[in-house]
Amino acid sequence: MTALCGVKISSLLSTPFRSTVVQLLLEELMAAAVENDTATVIASLMSQIKTAPTSEEVDKAAHDLATTIQGGGVITLKHHNVLSTLETATRNKKSGLEREGGLIGFNALIDVLGRRVQPILLTYLGLWLDLYADKGAVVQEAAQLAAETFLSLVPGEAAKVILPVIFEGMGYSSDGNKAPSKKWQTKVGALKLLKKYTETAPEQIGEALPQIIPAVSHCLSDTKNEVAVEAQKTMMAVCAVGGNPDIEKHLKDLVLCMDDPAHVPSTIEKLAATTFVAEVNGPTLAIMVPLLKRAINERSTLLIRQTVIITDNLCKLVRDPRTAAQFLPQLYPGIEHQAESAAFPEIRELASHAKQTLIDAGGHSEKEGVAPETSVSVEQATAVVREHATKAQGFLDSFFSPVLNFTGAIVADWIRQEMFTKEIWSKVLSEYLSAFLVSSDITVVCDAVHQHYKKIYLGRAGELEDSMLDEQEGEELCRVDDFSLAYGTRLLLNHTKLKLHRGQRYGLCGANGAGKSTLLRSIHQGKVEGFPSQDEVRTAFVDYAVQGADTSLCVLDYIAADKHLQNVERSEIEEKLREVGFDDARLECAVSMLSGGWKMKLELARAIISKADILLLDEPTNHLDADNIRWLEGYLTSQIHVTCLIVSHDSGFLDNVCTYILHYDKRKLRLYKGNLSKFVEAYPPALTYYNLEASTVKFSFPKPSVLQGVRSNTKAILKMSDCTFTYPGAAKPSLHNASVSLSLSSRVAVIGHNGAGKTTMIKLLTGETIPQTGTVWRHPALRIGYIAQHAFHHLEQHLDSTPMDYLQWRYSTGEDKEVLEKETRQWTEDEAIRMDRFFDVQGEQRQIECLLGRSKLKKTFQYEIKWRNKLHKHNTWISREKLLELGFQKLVQQFDDKEASREGLLYRELTVPTIRQHFADIGLDADIAQYSKIGQLSGGQKVKVVIAAAMWNNSHMLVLDEPTNFLDREALGGLATAIKGWDGAVVMISHSQEFVSALCPETWKLEAGCLHKEGKSAVEDEKQVDDEKVKAKISKKKKMTRNDIKKQEERRRARHLKWLIEGGEKEADTDSD
């Protein structure tokens, strides 16, 4: 043939009319010659693969074959019947040499051609698995090598097409048809492949657990011990992909239950003793639901009760409605049956509660499942890929149909994950499409398929086009096209994007606990995958906490000690601090002595000095007064080369500063152009940023108990008279000659500039500090709930405890342990000595041991004294004034605190249901309160914990220092609702005019330590009340007794007789005669 082609070519070359037609004929003939040579080469190599005496020679021939095919393209496999020839050799039962050669040939194709040929070779995976049971050891090894090489290249997204083949190798039919019979070696090999694939594709394996568990369970009961042992190992591996720490320790028991139902009772008992706290995802439910479904139908009452409780606890932690719709309806019939028909009332009650939890989670059997908005089948995705590939190439050989099916499965899985990163789509799809498309067509097809589904996704989800990301102004600082963010076991962001431009200011909006602060910290700490390092883009993180170790340093030294600012001159630091507003006095002041507002300004100054490209501001307006907020707004808007990422609940600040809003929505970041006003127009549910009354969240506080002797809500319960306080080392007092009073009806706003003395005054009112001059009087039974400016200081020692544990610890002894730590409750050395003094009592020298009781004495109280070394019958009562005069203020206060706590806690039980309800009333999810560690909570959630703990003992007065810090707008609306409906006194410091004006008719304004009162006081004027009582007493008629009336009649008769005798003007009768 080659000789004939040469003759034809020679004759054409000698033709005088060498035209374009001739040239085309030449090329056709040359191609035919090359094709003929390729066929000869392939035939020769195939012969060597079948007959070569050693494995090394076979492997060399096989790789040469693969290289030849690589040069001619994947279609060469069809033209020269390579695959069918290798299959025939592999199936040759008479020659082990050919079987080994065929397998080595397949392995070489995978090794050289890679993913291009993988979909086409998928058909032969079952054959290779069958040869795991071959009689020849070398054939078994070759089969194992081919299968493992193949599997190593399979992406996780192709799980839907690879798993059915593995199931078939395990002797299990996933489509309901009769299961094929397989030898035990094949089953073991398939199980090992599945276990290995679990490492490559944990997410997809977790998604497919409902199909995988029955398949592996089938092998657990296999009569061949080797299969059962390997099945148990594989089941442990696949069940571990869920990553739920609550069930990890029970995985072995759960796997035993799948094999032997006799283990169900003991496993349920262990699970019933487990506290579930981690978010429950699909893989976890895939493992648990079959077990619970079996247990709920058992006869044992105890087992049913435990199952109902486990179901209730699990369902509370299912946060994805799609996951709930997929698994939970299987549990609903059993739970409903127990709620209606259980023999014991307790089980019916528990089951009714679990039923409602199921419904709330989306697991109601009669409720339509929540289908993924962008879910597509493999067939649908394959059809779209085929359409665009055909359009690009014009004709598609049916030989490449497996490639289209394979890529369709990958595309379908990406859509399930809501992963639309163009670069990833192009990179993966191009590897497979290169089997039959040229480079230019590959790009066109990848872009077309990506754009097709992305458009559908954006349309169904009601989202904006990503063009918004590209339309931003300024230099691009960073672009992260696909990242996820988690905090502990909770997923906060899933496959989302973030793009920041220089000079733009982005407001982060979302509910408390959405992960706003976590995102800022993760960016600063370099934990966001794909975000530029600090060497490329420098970030500075600013939050409410002073981030230095030594706060005893003066302001200037404190900043200069920052390791990141070692190259900055001290003079430059001082200059920047002065620009921010620090004068000479404050520069020399210790950081620990600064007010909350000045500490925040200090952190802002540190960020400014660092010359960061991106400022990460977490609640920057917290503790700042109106003037400083205006200064911050002006500074940020003037920095045209600095990018800001801001978390704030101050709507005015976000309106004045932001150029874009990044909104947390369904675990994605959605970008909106404009400030907060524009965002609310585009997203109406965010209206609570402007109107607190639009909040759907409602808080409620426990009703305060009755104060002894206080019959009117306007009677004073706390007074501060002429109080002055100066901090140690300070040149002037923070508070000077302040006098105030409060009643149960008081609603007072304390306002003033940063450092004016607001927090100092509050601490004097609550007993945190003691005035140097003046007096503070509180009703002895008064209970105060105090939320400090740095509210988290209450929780700093309990970060590893749950909110419920913290509250139980705080009130476990019947007293509020936080109160006992106040400075006013600590005994000084002089006071301890005073306790040893002797007093003359009825001519006898005695020492006070303790106070045992208290009772009312006219307008004050008297206390029962227990004397040292005396029996109780010698106890005496001494008035409060006398004890205070003798210097026992701390002893009296200590007893008053104890009595106040006792009276408050008479109304509350430290039981789990009561505590859960209390936290729910304050707006904190009861499950978070019971199971989540305090250290894992967001700032807003921690504030709710502090409020709930302060209000537990039925407080009469609530003191809030900057309550608007950290709470989102919904929670602020709920707090406002609670305050309006509460019967106790409220005092709050806040720079939010909107918040205080809606709640407080009375204002205390502090300027340089001097107090000015404005508005209407809710405390009645006691002098006026006393005068009215005297007048009422004088004018009130005294009811006359019978004897009084008789004597009056006698006096009147005697007066009348005297007039008759003497005559003259008659004296009139009166009531007083």
> Considering the domain 378-462, what is its CATH architecture?
Up-down Bundle (1.20)
Residue ranges of the chain with pLDDT lower than 50? 1-10, 12-13, 16-18, 365-374, 462-465, 1024-1026, 1028, 1030
The pLDDT of residue 17: 44
The pLDDT of residue 392: 83
CA-to-CA separations, 641 to 74, 501, 579, 612, 638, in angstroms, rounded: 53, 9, 19, 10, 9
Please name the amino acid found at residue 280: V
Judged on CB neighbours under 10 Å (0-12, 13-18, 19+), 555 is: buried
Asked whether the beta carbons of 791 and 945 are under 8 A apart, the reply is no
CA pair distance 419, 985, nearest whole angstrom: 53
Q: Which CATH class is domain 27-153?
A: mainly alpha
The pLDDT of residue 141: 93
CA pair distance 910, 584, nearest whole angstrom: 52
The pLDDT of residue 659: 92
Residues of the chain with CATH 1.25.10.10: 27-153, 249-371
Over its C-alpha atoms, the chain yields an Rg (Å, rounded) of 41
Torsion of CA 301, 307, 312, 316, to 10 degrees: 170
The pLDDT of residue 364: 64
Residues of the chain with CATH 3.40.50.300: 474-538+612-690, 716-841+881-1015
Tell me phi and psi for residue 276, to 5 degrees: -90, 120
The C-alpha angle with vertex 553 and arms to 550 and 557, in degrees rounded to 5, equals 110
CA pair distance 654, 660, nearest whole angstrom: 10
Output the DSSP codes for 534-572.
TTTS-EEEE-SS---S-TTSBHHHHHHT-GGGTTS-HHH
DSSP code of 931? H
CA pair distance 782, 705, nearest whole angstrom: 10
Tokens of 648: 């704030």
* Residues 924, 927, 931, 937, CA torsion sign: negative
Strands (E), 393-449: none
The pLDDT of residue 986: 92
Name the CATH topology of 249-371.
Leucine-rich Repeat Variant (1.25.10)
> Would strands 784-787 and 668-673 be described as parallel, antiparallel, or unpaired?
unpaired
- Is 474-538+612-690 a domain of CATH 3.40.50.2020? no
CATH number of the 716-841+881-1015 domain: 3.40.50.300
